[in-house]
Amino acid sequence: MTPAPSGQAQPTVRRHRPLPKPTNLQVLPKDISPEALITMMKGFTKALGVECSFCHVENPQTRRMNFASDAKPDKTIARTMISMTQEINAKYLSTVNDPDATPAEKTVTCGTCHRGNSMPAPFVATEKEHAPMAVPAKPE
């Protein structure tokens, strides 16, 4: 790199620290890369409309997130929900043989139910939207 002409600022090169290896992974793959984990976590925050602090606590000494901590009950709930979606996808949706459906259309994600909300809104069908099923008449 050639030096900047006098009177001009040197270009700054920001070097990022290497991301630490994820720890305390209980339902996610233990060999997940830090980058893949961050991408996945960003997906969770969007699907639930929350920030990292929804599941993770801040270390008061360093004022940084302590991602390995299990101090927040919502992290335990998140693990249960991740396990649930993994099981639904692996055990049930993987067996759906619909040639018109894409793999994404046969996959349950957090966003399937949460739709950007920390608590999924219950679905209450109105009679107009979903009429009761007709019961076949019994032969006499």
The SS3 assignment for 48 reads helix
DSSP conformation class of 62: T
Task: Provide the pLDDT for residue 3.
Answer: 53
Q: Is the pLDDT of residue 113 over 70?
A: yes
Task: Provide the pLDDT for residue 29.
Answer: 96
pLDDT in tens, 29-60: 999 999 999 999 999 999 999 999 999 999 99
Query: What is the Cα–Cα distance from 18 to 38, expressed in whole angstroms?
Result: 13
Kindly tell me the burial class for residue 48, based on how many C-beta atoms sit within 10 Å of its own C-beta (0-12, 13-18, 19 or more). Answer: buried
Phi, psi (5° rounding) for residue 110?
-60, -40
Task: Provide the pLDDT for residue 133.
Answer: 67
Task: Provide the pLDDT for residue 95.
Answer: 93
Contact 34, 20 (CB under 8 A): yes
Residue in 97, 95, 96, 50 with CA at minimum distance from that of residue 75: 50
pLDDT in tens, 48-97: 999 999 999 999 999 999 999 999 999 999 999 999 999 999 999 999 99
Phi, psi (5° rounding) for residue 57?
-100, 160
